[in-house]
Amino acid sequence: DTEVTQTPKHLVMGMTNKKSLKCEQHMGHRAMYWYKQKAKKPPELMFVYSYEKLSINESVPSRFSPECPNSSLLNLHLHALQPEDSALYLCASSRLGRGGYEQYFGPGTRLTVT
Amino acid sequence: AQTVTQSQPEMSVQEAETVTLSCTYDTSENNYYLFWYKQPPSRQMILVIRQEAYKQQNATENRFSVNFQKAAKSFSLKISDSQLGDTAMYFCAFMKPPGTYKYIFGTGTRLKVLA
């Protein structure tokens, strides 16, 4: 199973709402990533978890709050977002180690902030 | 800091023809990894091919092959016998191990395969 799943596929939320994005993988990967992608642009890294601990935060605003409850699951909690936060949010996972392990991406959640 | 440049924002190719997408990068590292990812209009990113910098042999994966020129810091992707399903955005990515697990992506090349 080389699949990363993400729910929901689409999300529309107001600026005062609280919502969460979910990502799941069952490949035994111990690194998980959140990316933000605007149209026709490359993904921008937001967070990296390794061994369920936050290892990289790319200076993301606190209205985005990641959580890694276990080695298979990654959440992104959203609160008080701005319209400019509308984007495709991608989750990815990879092995950890000294090799250059490729990342497996999920299909993404299309987020619209109104 | 590492940078990755894809100088061709858009390209098109006739079905069954061959096309080459270019990627150059800048790094002072000797050991690193390079990847090509494909993102079709359905938006899921898929790994096309990877190259380890310490390997001189160019990676191949069916119709996809790379021309890795380490001294020139060039990593181009050749797609042979192009198919309509190859229509996608292609991203070149650089990763410096170990420990960072961060990709540096290029800006992407939008490839359209014409029937």
The minimum CA-CA distance between B91 and chain A, rounded to whole Å, is 7
Distance CA B101, CA A95 (A): 10
How many beta-carbon contacts under 8 Å exist across A and B? 56
Average pLDDT over chain A, rounded to an integer: 93
Contact between A78 and A64 (Cβ < 8 Å):
yes
Instruction: Kindly tell me if the per-residue pLDDT of A100 is higher than 80.
Output: no
User: pLDDT value at position B42?
Assistant: 74
Give the pLDDT of residue B50.
Answer: 93
- Pairwise CA distance, residues A32 & A28, whole Å: 11
Rounded percentage of chain A residues whose pLDDT exceeds 90 = 86
Low-confidence ranges of chain B (pLDDT < 70): 98-100
What pLDDT score was predicted for residue B100?
66
User: pLDDT class for A97, splitting at 50, 70, 90?
Assistant: confident
Which pLDDT does position A1 carry in this prediction? 62
How far apart are the CA of A10 and the nearest CA of chain B, in angstroms? Answer: 13
Q: Is the pLDDT of residue A2 over 70?
A: no
Query: A94: which chain B residues are within 8 Å (Cβ-Cβ)?
Result: 101
